[in-house]
Structure 1
């Protein structure tokens, strides 16, 4: 069976984009693949985090997985830092990857902004750790959003260079899985920007634990335009906010944007927004309530993470041993 690896950063405020772009697909994939899912807490500290908040956020990611339907008896759920192979393999890959490769990574440029000299080495070397996350398990597939495709291509380059340098067939060339509508969910306040946990406006995102009133208010205030919904998807091309809301509806309903427009063509947003709100409440209400219940029982969540780490270690340890032997390290 093919093996999937993926993870979500524990940075708080898990939102609709995290769910539609990642977590929902994790649930769907677990019946057809061997799935390994983690809270990527080592990536989270590339920018300083309050330790108590980080611990809470790690549990929040695990709670989101569980509440959304990831089954810990089918899939492995754990915190990245609890498996030493991630850090060990990342260092070996740091010695494989070339500075020029990392200099081409657009996400570092976006996150570091104008203060590149003040960015951490961890933020710069993030793609090398991401490659280690995946290849520590010899994963064959990774479900990714469009913004991570470049990092996945780098993972393939690293795997190929390692295999070539040491004349082995150690690592697979991992394949991306880009699934479904609305894999890139945009801000409710600006359809040209990705929905983000870091946006200063709470009204820019739907958080998984939003209650009925909060969710309804955010969708009611979501930016739109004055025109009714069109009949054809291509007519949404120059209407980013309208396209975003139609895409969200399509993803939640498991239909295409074209199908949404068949039903709502000619409708004003005063009609469409309430329909979208009801659909979102139907899908998110149970998830938010279950997340709150799990977050109130951290011992239960921690026990699942501990068991997941043991299972992840059992896979990664022989692989990292094989890597060390290949590189030429002495194995005690």
Structure 2
């Protein structure tokens, strides 16, 4: 069976965009792939994290993944820092990747902003660690959002260069991207041109995975819309980003095409559609929110699950790392 690897950063404030854009798709992939899912805490510390908060966020993310349907018994769920192969292979890849490749990474430019000289070396070398995450397991497929496609291309470049440099054709696979789902980009409830984000100053701009039913209803009721009713066809959403966003969320949660949603609700005012959307959001998210809260409070279970997952991940990664060291010319004890 082909192998999927993916991970998410434990930086808190999980929202609907994280769920629809990534976690829900990971649940579906379990039907067709051997899946390895990782809480990427090494990536998280490329920017400052308060240690106590980081530990809490690691557990919260693991809890959310399990509550959403990730099966840590049939597949593997662990946190990255418990498997040393990630860091070891990342250093080897730092010596394979070229500065010019990393200089082209747009996400570093966006995250570092105008203060690039003050950014951590880890933030700059982030894509090499991502390559190590994937190739430590010789994963064949990686579910990615649009903002991660460039990093996966770099992973492929590193795999090819390693194979060529050390004359080990096919040693590392060139993993394929999996871009899944109709709502890979969930937008802000306050500005349909901006991606839903945990860093938005307004909590009303996002649907948090920890929001209760009353909060969900309030946020959807106050979500920005326009004065026109919903169109009956997709072309009618052109130039209406907020309308498109709400329709897309509704369609994604029910696994329906946008066209079907518009055929059903076209012509009604947003007040009516927002009520329908609220019902769907509460129905789909409330059980996950409740299970998340229960699991997060059971820290012994979460910690044991991650530890067991790390043992299983190590069983795959360590033999591959040992082979890499042989290829590179290191002495293996």
Normalising by structure 2, we get a TM-score of 0.98
How many correspondences in the alignment?
332
Q: Partners of 2:181 and 2:138 in 1: how far apart?
A: 25
Per-residue displacement from partner, 1:47-72 (whole Å, max 9, x unpaired)? 10000000000001110111011111
Shift in Å at residue 185 of structure 1? 0.7
Corresponding position of 1:140: 140
Corresponding position of 2:315: 314
Question: Is 2:49 the partner of 1:31?
Answer: no
Farther-moved stretch of structure 1 (228-237 vs 268-277): 228-237
Q: Partners of 1:93 and 1:189 in 2: how far apart?
A: 41
Corresponding position of 1:46: 46
Quote the RMSD (CA, aligned, Å): 0.8
Corresponding position of 2:270: 269
Q: Partners of 1:136 and 1:269 in 2: how far apart?
A: 49
Per-residue displacement from partner, 1:152-198 (whole Å, max 9, x unpaired)? 11111111111111111211110011111111111111111111111
Q: Partners of 1:197 and 1:331 in 2: how far apart?
A: 44
Corresponding position of 1:4: 4
Corresponding position of 2:103: 103
Per-residue displacement from partner, 1:217-240 (whole Å, max 9, x unpaired)? 111111111111112213323111
Normalising by structure 1, we get a TM-score of 0.99
1:187 aligned counterpart, secondary structure? coil
1:1-332 residue pairs with structure 2 within 5 A?
1-168=1-168, 169-332=170-333
Q: Partners of 1:150 and 1:280 in 2: how far apart?
A: 32
Q: Partners of 1:107 and 1:237 in 2: how far apart?
A: 28
Per-residue displacement from partner, 1:71-108 (whole Å, max 9, x unpaired)? 11111010011000000011111111111111111111
1:130 aligned counterpart, secondary structure? helix
Per-residue displacement from partner, 1:195-227 (whole Å, max 9, x unpaired)? 111111111111111100111111111111111
Q: Partners of 2:263 and 2:269 in 1: how far apart?
A: 14
Per-residue displacement from partner, 1:283-328 (whole Å, max 9, x unpaired)? 0000000000011110111010000000000000000001111111
Unaligned runs of 5+ in 2: none
Q: Partners of 2:236 and 2:165 in 1: how far apart?
A: 50
Q: Partners of 2:114 and 2:233 in 1: how far apart?
A: 40
